[in-house]
Amino acid sequence: MKKKKTIGLVAHDNRKKDIIEWASWNWKELAPHNLVCTGTTGKLIDEVIRLKCEENNSIPPHVTCLKSGPLGGDQQLGAMISEGGVDVLIFFWDPMQPQPHDVDVKALLRIAVLYNIPTASNRSTADFMISSSLFHEEYKPIIKDYSKYIKRDVDLV
């Protein structure tokens, strides 16, 4: 994980306001990094951080917008994590509202744990994460070897 990180940002509909407020408050910490967001969350975060950067004569971060979560954005983000393209995941999910793509959400969180990337699911954890000295440093996460869980081709014959 390089000093300049790629940060995944996701929020369910009932949590979009929260993640936008959080991103607006933490724009200085986010600006030096690359941001990858699902759907509407990405458009809203790009707008708020770009505005803050313009007001302060700062360079805005590069924001990549994926598809909306229910349309495959969670899966796109999970694929990026599995390929080493995302270093941190901040996912403000709504524990009180059933989601039509709950299996995708579960898969995304599983991949984040599998590849041992820092993951925040609420504002408090995101605050702790972004204020950590490790946030702006190089960091090498230890990836567990799961190869013993994978059946070999000879086992399948």
CA angle 68, 73, 77 (to 5 degrees): 145
Q: Which two tokens stand for residue 145?
A: 């070897």
Identify the active-site residue in 46, 74, 87, 104.
74
CA angle 64, 40, 119 (to 5 degrees): 65
74 is catalytic: yes
In degrees to the nearest 10, what's the CA dihedral of 142, 81, 45, 40? -150
Residues 6 or more apart from 107 whose CB is under 8 A from it? 74, 75, 78
Among 66, 23, 26, 28, residue whose Cα is nearest residue 47: 23
Q: Which two tokens stand for residue 72?
A: 């495959």
- What gap in Å lies between CA 13 and CA 97, rounded to an integer? 9
Task: Say which amino acid occupies 37.
Answer: C
Active-site residue set:
74
